[in-house]
Amino acid sequence: MAFDTVLIANRGEIALRIIRACNSLDLKSVAVFSDADKSAPYVGAADKAVHIGASEAANSYLNMGKIIEAAKSSGAGAIHPGYGFLAENAEFAKLCAENGLVFIGPSADLIEKMGSKIEAKSVAIETGVPVVPGYHSADQGLDGLMQAAKDVGVPLMIKASAGGGGRGMRLVTDLADFSNELSLAQKEAKAAFGDPAVLLERYVENARHIEVQILGDQHGNVVHLFERDCSIQRNHQKVIEEAPAPNLPEKIRSGILTAAVNLARHVSYDSAGTVEFIYDVKREEFYFLEMNTRLQVEHPVTEEITGIDLVQWQIAIAQGEGLTLAQSDIQCTGWAIEARLAAEDPEKGYLPQTGQITCYEEPDFENVRIDSGIQNSSIVSHYYDSMLAKVIAKGGSRSAAIRKLIKALGAYQVTGVGTNKFFIKDVLDLPEFTEGNHHTSTLKIAFSGHWKAPKPSAISLSLAVLAGHLNMLATGASGPWRRMGSWRLTAALDRPVSAYYVIRSADGENQDVELQNCKGCYSVLLDGELAASFEKARLDGSSISYENGGIATKAKTHINGSTVSVFDDNGDVQIQLLKIEDVYLSEKHSETDGGNQVFAPMPGLIADVLVHKNQIVKKGEAVIVLEAMKLLQKLEAPVSGVVSDVHFQPGDTPEKGALLLTIDPETKNS
């Protein structure tokens, strides 16, 4: 069982996390990478790196043969799968054993038994652990599933049997929608996990999602590392996780912990794993959901409250070592909360964002941990999950941990792609969350319409204008003040000298700006109104300092061409600062309205085309299913009419902005 080199069959932040654990145990690490990840930080951090194929996961990180060959050629004796991809693939675990490689995780038999939600339900029932009423059969025939849906009743949840992370999950509130939602769930499950099998469960409304971290060895020892609350979710994907769970009745906590250990002991579990439960607050009842036979994304919060390195223990257990921890040795100290920073636009339906990171700076505070897989110039592609980093804050109390996390998020600087940073901060401020009374529907209720991004403050906008202007002067760029000649003499007469710009926001809106300088005092007028004044302003590297009302202040800045970003106490702002003549004296180009066309909102794979040429469609009807970042998005008809052109077919991979489908509106055909 001994090995000195570990190949990591994963990417991004979890690959870096495992590399750190290998280094701490004096083991060598081998990274594997696709075309898209050739310059990723984890590739350079490993002792060796092996290219395994094209960017699509199916051709690289899900290609078992290539990964096994990479392990053999690099001299690795073990493979750590991280989470996602092949982490819960029993076939892969068997393949490792057949090739003389140690799979760092539970046995293939355990993955097969507990990795299937259907099989795991049966094991839980055998163990005496309560389960959510539903349909957990291997019979996946359409007729059987339709009848089961009627028996379970609505609301019901369709779940992929082979996976998690919210993929392959669909909530059905009307049985008339069941067939369509079932089809989408099966396709998403097949795309994400290679298995279209699903189960049906009664949907427990306003429940809490509680999970227990388990460690088991190959000698029959099992311990728990307390529980985590993962109830803050969006579309069944976790957004905030914490340990321990707040406001959990002690009898419920004790019952859940005991049930998790009993279940793990019943199946002789032999690695790190997680037993997940749903807690019905109204009934004060808990139900077994599933067992994750792998490391969880949110494992850092457990490490922070226990001081135990879960990845180190995974490796030690895989080498045959027994647990040296008795249950009484494991103590819960303080509180830890994790937020998932993702490349997405919460204001536009949480649409994933792609592009190149132009500025990246992590917060550096005591008791703040950042698990990230990106850096300056990293490319965020559509091939993989949209998560950029995990921000973990620890405090002596829950309120202290929340304050620390909010502070850390405020100091996090990312430009080039949009993030959910301000959405997370708003979630942390929700009364339901701060009071610990949140549940799985909290976000849906709190943002019942849709989340609105905070508007940049006048001071932040003005500061961005000033930073951009000072940068132009410092770099010798040509600008309005550079061409004023003798007009600068007016400053000697106590008259301001003005420069004129246009702010262009991300949505294309323009705002006229006048920047006045009188004896070193800068005043910014937005659309003719005084917005802010700054004294003793100075741009120094990546920050701008100034005085306002006698108070000296400094803010972080990042300038990339005409794009100016400012990070200050008033909120982050990013603008495009243009010379006024470049906007109003340039030739105007007409733009197509596009009101009768469907465009790709981001690069992706056409999973399905739901309509055909000459078909009559109604506005809002789903016409195309696009797969991007492991999720399926239904694109809807913008108008009612007749489909005149379908430009892409299933299997095609359009780029962002590509014209997918055209509709002749009803008015045109009447």
Condensed to tens digits (0 to 9), the pLDDT of residues 470-502 reads 998 888 654 444 443 323 334 444 567 888 899
Length of the chain: 670
Condensed to tens digits (0 to 9), the pLDDT of residues 384-438 reads 999 999 999 999 999 999 999 999 999 999 999 999 999 999 999 999 999 999 9
Which entry of 234, 294, 340, 398 is annotated as an active-site residue? 294
Instruction: Report which secondary-structure segment, H or E, holds 45.
Output: helix 41-45
Condensed to tens digits (0 to 9), the pLDDT of residues 99-145 reads 999 999 999 999 999 988 788 988 999 999 999 888 888 889 999 99
Residue with tokens 């306003």: 206
Choose among 514, 437, 420: nearest CA to 469: 514
Q: Which two tokens stand for residue 17?
A: 């996390």
* Threshold 0.95, pTM exceeds: no
Condensed to tens digits (0 to 9), the pLDDT of residues 335-348 reads 999 999 999 999 98
CB neighbours of residue 263 within 10 Å:
25
CB 89 within 8 A of CB 16: no
Active site (annotated) includes residue 234? no
Kindly report the average pLDDT of the chain as a whole number: 90
Instruction: Report which secondary-structure segment, H or E, holds 316.
Output: helix 310-318
Q: How far is CA 621 from CA 391, 616, 636, 641, 647, in A?
A: 38, 10, 5, 11, 18
Q: Which long-range contacts (CB under 8 A, 24 or more apart) does 280-284 make?
A: 280/204, 280/207, 281/206, 281/207, 281/208, 281/439, 282/206, 284/249, 284/252
Helix (H, G, I), strand (E, B) or coil at 298: coil
The span from the CA of 183 to the CA of 634, in Å, is: 13
CB 602 within 8 A of CB 351: yes
Choose among 327, 119, 341, 151: nearest CA to 222: 327
List the beta bridge partners of residue 213: 274
CB 120 within 8 A of CB 260: no
The span from the CA of 202 to the CA of 280, in Å, is: 12
